[in-house]
Structure 1
Amino acid sequence: MIPSRLTLCNFLSYRYSVALNFESFHLACLYGDNGTGKSSLLEAITWVLWGKARSSADALIHHGEEMMWVDFEFEQDGRKYRVIRKRSKKGRGSSELDFLVYDEGGWSSLSGATLKETEEKIAEIIRLPYEIFINSAYLRQGHTDEFTTKPPVQRKKILGEILELEVYENLSQKAKEIAKQDESEEEALSRSILEIEENLKQKPAFQKELKEAEGQLKKKEGLFNSEKTQLDSLQKAKNEYDLLAQKEELLSRQLAQIQKEGQRLKDEIEGLKREISQAQDLLKNEKTIKQKAAELKVLRQKDEEVQGKLLKLNRYQEELGRLKAERAEVEKKIAQIEKIDRCPTCLRPLSKKEAKEIIAGLRQNAEKEIFEKLKEVQDEIQKIDYQPEEHQKIKNQISQLLIFEEKEKELALVQQSLKEKKKILQKSQSELEQKRKQYSTILKQRTESSQKRVKLEPIHRQYQEQERKLSHLWEELLEAKATCGAFKQRLLDLSSQEALLQERRQKLEEIKRKRIVFEQLAGIFSKRGIQAMIIETLLPEIEEEANRILEKITDGRLQIRFITKKEKKSEEGETETLEILVSDNLGERSYEMYSGGEAFRIDLAIRVALSEILSQRAGGKLQFLAIDEGFGSLDEAGKEEVVEAINALTEKFAKIIVVTHIPDLKNLFPFRIEVTKDENGSHLNLVSF
């Protein structure tokens, strides 16, 4: 992957649209003070290609803005590609990703239906995962000499981290965990198998007990059938006994019903006799009853006459009371006039003459309208001649004779119903006689049935005894069957356990084989396994490639050699190590003996060699190199040697960018990308010499 052009907007410290044309240079220095945004350009490349950077996507958006985008063009295998990634914080946030390729007709889309599909297509083209890129194409500050400056015993660990061998360590740990789980399952299965084997040892005893139980069952079945036959022989007599008992019960119910009906008829006859006797007694007094009833009628007529007088008297007395009240009112007015000398109506003063005239007028009117009527009413009251004592005497006589009125009515009804009651009495007496005869017949039948049943009583008791005996035998038979069933079930369970035992033994063998495989895999993927093998395999390649780089950047003055094992001092055998021996015109010495520019050249050669091996393993070709180092500890000569060494790498890489904030270095490169920052964000300026 060779960068062609990078354009970004609102990305980290870059607020406005900023573009960097990589086609203008082969080797350039990316210069600026700390915090101006140098490393942000390289992070823009990782974000646009893989969607990954040091922070989340929303945190990468320039402060105060809602949206950012990065547009990146690059070459891969002779073709031009373009990736545009956008991110917006609006709403719940949204992302866009476009992937294009350039052909004769211009840019055409390679994007998938989804963002994930598009990222997968980009990965297929560049063939360089994010983790490989940041460990190969992007040499971050402090990482160039990370491998070489560590003690020999730690270099293999650092090399494993650079080569991302932790994936194998993770696989080794996972294999160990699975093997441990299988070991626990083995133990559980082994315990289960031992338990089943112990249970299966009981099978011969269960088989013996089942045989004995089946013998007992057969014996009890024979005895039960024999007793059942004997019971069946008594069944006919028992049925006859039951029928006679049922007949007796039925006849007893019939007798009780006849007794009930006979008592009802007796009560009915007694009642009819009383009613007929009463009727006959009533008929004997017929003459007296009619005579008294006639006297009652006469007395009622007299009572009506006297009652008329009483009503008339009451009316006259009411009239008399009214007239007396009017007379009293007139006397009251006359007394008022005589006393107050005023008109009783308008209350005006009156003279004695006027008062006398008014009083005379009132008395004249009263004489004419009241006193005459009052005398007439009093005369009429005298004429009525009402006697209260006589009237009360008549009422008492009527009260005493009322009973004869009722008896006269009853007499008429008795004369009509006496004949009918005599017929009913005769019929009831006939029915009672029939019931007596029916009762005697049924009583005789019940006695005969009881006598027959008594004769069968011994057989019935024998049947009951045999039935109880058979019931007891049936319980024993059921118990024997249950015992046989229990032993059969136990044997069935043991048969199931035999199949389960076979299954668990087979599973145990499978788990054992699986555990052995994962234990072997744990060893294979461990540091002493495939990780060591990869390191042992790659070290010669790294050594060879580093020496080719050293050949170019030191004019053949320096060569390196890796030592992975050395003899133990205190005992026999070898110990693991990773020493770096450097050969120059003075001979072969340890890496630790070198410093300054020579040490940097060795570090650079080994680190670039590692980067190339990493990219080759990923299936890609490393054509872009970004070196982010401080170089602050180098003297002037060392800095020139650094630039000279980096210039020597231009034949291996299409694009090289060196990131620094040291002013002395910026003029040592043919091109300089200056990064500055103000209140409007970061800015770029490409300067050539």
Structure 2
Amino acid sequence: MIPLQLSLKNFLSYSEASLDFTGLHTACICGANGAGKSSLLEGITWAIWGECRAVSEDDAISNGAMDVRVDFTFMMHGETCRIIRSRQRDSTGGLEFQIQTSGGQFRTLTQKGIRSTQALIDDYLKIDYDTFINSAYLRQGKADEFMLKKPTDRKQILADLLKLDRYEQLADRAKDTAKQFKLQAEVLTENLAEAEVQLAQIDGITQQRDEVKVEIDRLQQLQVIEEQELESFKTIARQRETWQQQLGWEQKRDRELIQAATQIQADLQLLNTDKNRLDSLLIRSDEISGAYQAYLSLQQQLAVLDRQFDTYQQSQIKQQQLQQQLERQTQELQLTLGRSQAELALVIQQQQELATTLATAGDVTKAIAQLQSFRQRVTELDRLQAEVLPLQQERVILIGKIDREAAKIQAKLNELILREQQIKVKTNERQQLIDRLTLLDTQITELDNKKVYQKRIEEKGLVKKENIQRLDADVRNYQKQLVELDRKLELLEVPDASCPVCEQPLDENHREHVLTSAKSERENIDRQISASQEEYSLYVREREDLIAQYKQLNRELAGSENLREQRGKLQAQLDSIAELQVNLEEIAIEKSQIELAIESRIYARELQTELAGLLIQLEETNYSEQSHALARGEVDKLRWAEAKQERIKEAERKQQQSIERKERLEIEIAAIEENINLLQTNSDMKIELEAVIKEIEALGYDRNYHNQVTTSLRESQSIQLQYQELQQAQQTQPQLLDRIKILETNERQNTEDRQRSTIEIDRISLEIAKIPDNDVRIMAIEHQLAERRQQLDNNLSIIGSLEQQLTQLHQIKEQLRSQQQQLEAYKQQQKIYDELTKAFGKNGIQALVIENILPQLEAESNQILSKLSNNQFHVQFITQKATKGSRTKKASVKSAKYIDTLDIVIGDANGTRSYETYSGGEAFRINFSIRLALAKLLSQRAGTPLQMLIVDEGFGTQDREGCDRLIAAINAISADFACILTVTHMPQFREAFQTRIEVQKTSKGSQIQVIT
């Protein structure tokens, strides 16, 4: 593995950093403690295996960040690879594995799921995380991890690094193969034992076979005699059976004729019933036609009355509108007249006041006295006004309430007018609904008739189906008989053929007799099959016709429920329209009452009564606004008198104005009175109103007569349906009579066919009576022959089985020799693979490989250690040691027992001692030498090409001389690695490397700087 590029994002102490390893051979990663030196290298292990010093997966994410991503590019097996690992906080992560193609693009090898992709990476690298950190990566504080492992675990790590697991796989395969050969040998041994037991039965089976052959010869002789006797009886039985079959056909035909006669009679009865119904309806044709004409006459009268009713309503509405307009204009003129008369009264009053003022102008003293008197009067009237003001306000409120009630009544009247118009629109649709309902009734009646006819077709179809099934069973039975006869004929056609029944040889005469009999029987069956198939085809065609008619009627009847639903809806609409007509009369009555109330102002009676009482109370107070105003005027006039000449001049000027105003008002009042008189007597509106009243009287509309005609028409609606049925009966009667004639003709033909069938049945019965019935004797002989055949079959089966057993035993005898040889071969193969299992096992080749590699590892370790310790220490690897019991003095050398191990013994000038007794610096140099030797050894072997060496923070325990020796050792092995990285914070150590990767901790996370 040669690193090329490492990119970190939010990994441990790094926020965003990238390191390019291109051109780096031996470099030092330096920086203060906690700067992120180890984190930089752990980014490689996290990217490849997802492992670092973080306890949980989310701990690898920088504080405050939500995701982490590490992108590591390296060379492996001559290929450029890239691994990208990412993770979201509190979520799942992602892993991608890519290889660069010849075009420079990366091709993804990522599998479905992180586990599958990780397995692919491990398989590609041929090394896992534990092996990596125990060889090429000396982690901070983990330099002695290989040394501190148990001897067995240490040996397993060495085996993994040397790829000795493939020998373990070979051992497993050899073990499985040995088991297979052992199992095959055991099975073959059991088979040989069984074969020996079977071969002992040959003599007994041979004797039993000879006895069975003698019994078969005896049974065959008896069978020939019985079959000859049976054939003579069967010839007579076939003649009888032929007549019986003909009798059966005739009887079946007779039954069918009886069924047909029954069906014809049923159809005639139904048609006669329909004919009687039509006749009874046609007899009443004059009555129904007359009633229908009366119905049409009522419809015409109703139409005339409906038009009169519409005209009558429109005229009434117009009369009311004209009356309202006339009254409204009259009221407006009267209001104008009242205002003019009030204004004239005020003018006259003003003249009187001015005259008084002018009359008293010369008497100032008298005017002053009068002024005092009128001032007292004004004070009294002010008191009365304070009492009257609340009453006047209450009067205004009552008048407002009465006006609102009037508005409500008017709104109700408008609503009734609108509802009346809507009901009239729906009532006009009534006749259309009646016509649609009549059409639906006709269609539903036709569908009901078709439903009855469909039921008859269904019954006929069931009868045809039963006949088809019966004929189909007969044909299949005949065909089975034909197959049996054809087999017999094929046997008889062969020269020197045996009897197909008894299997005995036949002479020429006997063979010809049997052949002729079989052919005659076959021809008879052919005729019966032809007759059955012809009759079968006839029934099938008739049934198909019935099915087609049934389906056609089904399609026609599909909409019957929809039609009934439509009829129900139309009837409901007609009923609702009838109810609306009743509502229309109620609305007219209610509308007249409201109009009367508006006209006579008889609404809001309580408010009207309260207003009348209030007016009486106001009148009792004896307060007059006019008197109040006159008193104030008098006071004002007397005040003017105080002004003497100015006041008199003003009075003279107003006197002249009042005279002119009085003359103008008198002219206006006369004109208004003349207009009111003209409006009430000879205006256009009055003339139009009288004309409308005359039109209403001339119309002569009678509401009661209109209701009577409507009721009569509703009661006579059923006559329309009767008239339609009468028309349908007139059209249907000729067709019905034709069908009755056809059925009567069919009935006569059926009677003649039944008579002929009865004669034929009697004739065949006589023929059958002449032939004796040998069925009992035939059944007895056939039963005896069947038993004989069964005995023969059993004996033949037995002898066949015995012959087969003998053949198999002879074959077993021949196979026995080869199976014994094969058994010896299986045992030999099992022995070979058992030896291979031991050879490939841990105590075989694997142990031998380790034994061979350890001297080289030991020599390489001591060579490095001698440079680091100035030849003071020596390492020795021990792979076996005696067990605890074998270490006693009594145990001999031959009887001593040894176990596999991988102990490391360290020697110095004072002898050997345990690894734990060495100081930190000494222990590190020992660990480092072994680890470097191991990494160098792995790089020399082609198994797992670890071309990168990482030493993380191992120099802190060394003095100056030790550090120099470590640097010298690293330089000595640098040619064996593509990249060596050392990590330290010691200034004197990092200066020894030409290339430095300095790591600094900043506010934005750890930062990287490469110095060459």
- State the SS of the aligned residue for 2:860: helix
Q: Deviations over 1:284-328 (max 9, x none)?
A: xxxxxxxxxxxxxxxxxxxxxxxxxxxxxxxxxxxxxxxxxxxxx
CA 153–212 in structure 1, closer or farther in 2 if over 3 Å, else same: same
Indicate the residue corresponding to 2:962 in structure 1: 641
The whole-number CA distance in structure 2 between the counterparts of 1:246 and 1:39 is 111
Choose from 468, 472, 477 the match for 2:792. 477
CA 546–225 in structure 1, closer or farther in 2 if over 3 Å, else same: same
Whether 1:601 aligns to 2:602 is no
Indicate the residue corresponding to 1:17 in structure 2: 17
> Offset at 1:12?
4.6
Map 1:235-634; keep pairs closer than 5 Å.
235=232, 470-488=785-803, 512=827, 515-565=830-880, 569=887, 570-573=891-894, 575=898, 576=900, 578-580=902-904, 582=906, 586=909, 589-590=912-913, 592=915, 594-619=918-943, 623-628=947-952, 634=957
Matched AA of 1:40: S
The whole-number CA distance in structure 1 between the counterparts of 2:857 and 2:241 is 118
The whole-number CA distance in structure 1 between the counterparts of 2:39 and 2:125 is 23
The whole-number CA distance in structure 2 between the counterparts of 1:224 and 1:494 is 34
The whole-number CA distance in structure 1 between the counterparts of 2:969 and 2:199 is 82
> Offset at 1:539?
1.1
The whole-number CA distance in structure 2 between the counterparts of 1:222 and 1:587 is 116
The whole-number CA distance in structure 2 between the counterparts of 1:143 and 1:203 is 80
The whole-number CA distance in structure 2 between the counterparts of 1:536 and 1:164 is 15
Whether 1:70 aligns to 2:71 is yes
CA 490–145 in structure 1, closer or farther in 2 if over 3 Å, else same: same
The whole-number CA distance in structure 1 between the counterparts of 2:990 and 2:845 is 47
Matched AA of 1:16: E
> Offset at 1:41?
2.3
Q: Is the 8 A contact 1:46 1:130 kept in 2?
A: no
Indicate the residue corresponding to 2:44 in structure 1: 45
Q: Deviations over 1:442-485 (max 9, x none)?
A: 99x99xx98x98xxx9x999999877655543343233223334
Indicate the residue corresponding to 2:26 in structure 1: 26
Q: Is the 8 A contact 2:938 2:945 kept in 1?
A: no
Indicate the residue corresponding to 2:212 in structure 1: 213
Matched AA of 1:529: G
- State the SS of the aligned residue for 2:8: strand
The whole-number CA distance in structure 2 between the counterparts of 1:527 and 1:241 is 92
CA 640–59 in structure 1, closer or farther in 2 if over 3 Å, else same: same
Deviates more, 1:16-25 or 1:546-555: 16-25
Matched AA of 1:528: N
> Offset at 1:529?
0.4
The whole-number CA distance in structure 1 between the counterparts of 2:867 and 2:853 is 21
Q: Is the 8 A contact 1:27 1:669 kept in 2?
A: no
> Offset at 1:531?
1.3
- State the SS of the aligned residue for 2:211: helix
**TM, length-normalised to structure 2:** 0.38
- State the SS of the aligned residue for 1:626: strand
The whole-number CA distance in structure 1 between the counterparts of 2:824 and 2:866 is 58
The whole-number CA distance in structure 2 between the counterparts of 1:601 and 1:555 is 11
Whether 1:651 aligns to 2:972 is yes
The whole-number CA distance in structure 1 between the counterparts of 2:189 and 2:1005 is 71
> Offset at 1:38?
3.6
> Offset at 1:528?
0.9
Whether 1:683 aligns to 2:1004 is no
Q: Structure 1: which 5+ runs fail to align? A: 102-106, 252-434
Indicate the residue corresponding to 1:104 in structure 2: none
- State the SS of the aligned residue for 1:519: helix
> Offset at 1:216?
1.9
- State the SS of the aligned residue for 2:14: coil
Indicate the residue corresponding to 2:104 in structure 1: 109
> Offset at 1:108?
5.9
- State the SS of the aligned residue for 2:843: coil
Indicate the residue corresponding to 1:341 in structure 2: none
The whole-number CA distance in structure 1 between the counterparts of 2:764 and 2:805 is 65
CA 37–525 in structure 1, closer or farther in 2 if over 3 Å, else same: farther
> Offset at 1:145?
3.3
Which of 1 and 2 has greater Rg? 1
The whole-number CA distance in structure 1 between the counterparts of 2:872 and 2:215 is 106
Q: Structure 2: which 5+ runs fail to align? A: 112-116, 248-758
Higher helix share: 2
Indicate the residue corresponding to 2:386 in structure 1: none
Q: Is the 8 A contact 1:600 1:642 kept in 2?
A: no
Q: Is the 8 A contact 1:137 1:622 kept in 2?
A: yes
Q: Is the 8 A contact 1:26 1:656 kept in 2?
A: yes
Q: Is the 8 A contact 2:37 2:999 kept in 1?
A: yes
> Offset at 1:51?
6.4
> Offset at 1:533?
0.7
> Offset at 1:646?
4.0
> Offset at 1:535?
0.7
Q: Deviations over 1:34-78 (max 9, x none)?
A: 6x6444322433466x5664599999666745573525467999x
Indicate the residue corresponding to 1:160 in structure 2: 159
The whole-number CA distance in structure 2 between the counterparts of 1:610 and 1:127 is 18
Q: Is the 8 A contact 1:542 1:610 kept in 2?
A: yes
Q: Is the 8 A contact 1:135 1:611 kept in 2?
A: no
The whole-number CA distance in structure 2 between the counterparts of 1:510 and 1:10 is 67
CA 640–498 in structure 1, closer or farther in 2 if over 3 Å, else same: farther
CA 149–466 in structure 1, closer or farther in 2 if over 3 Å, else same: closer
CA 598–93 in structure 1, closer or farther in 2 if over 3 Å, else same: closer
Aligned residues with identical type, % of pairs: 31
Q: Deviations over 1:187-216 (max 9, x none)?
A: 456446545654554454334323322332
Question: Would you say how many aligned residue pairs link Structure 1 and Structure 2?
Answer: 473
The whole-number CA distance in structure 2 between the counterparts of 1:645 and 1:201 is 86
Q: Is the 8 A contact 1:85 1:98 kept in 2?
A: yes
Q: Is the 8 A contact 2:212 2:799 kept in 1?
A: yes
- State the SS of the aligned residue for 1:571: coil
Over the aligned positions, Cα root-mean-square deviation in angstroms equals: 5.7
Q: Is the 8 A contact 1:128 1:620 kept in 2?
A: yes
The whole-number CA distance in structure 2 between the counterparts of 1:230 and 1:14 is 114
The whole-number CA distance in structure 1 between the counterparts of 2:20 and 2:241 is 123
Q: Deviations over 1:267-298 (max 9, x none)?
A: xxxxxxxxxxxxxxxxxxxxxxxxxxxxxxxx
Q: Is the 8 A contact 2:997 2:1011 kept in 1?
A: yes
- State the SS of the aligned residue for 1:16: strand
The whole-number CA distance in structure 2 between the counterparts of 1:179 and 1:197 is 27
Deviates more, 1:135-144 or 1:518-527: 135-144
Matched AA of 1:534: V
**TM, length-normalised to structure 1:** 0.52
- State the SS of the aligned residue for 1:8: strand
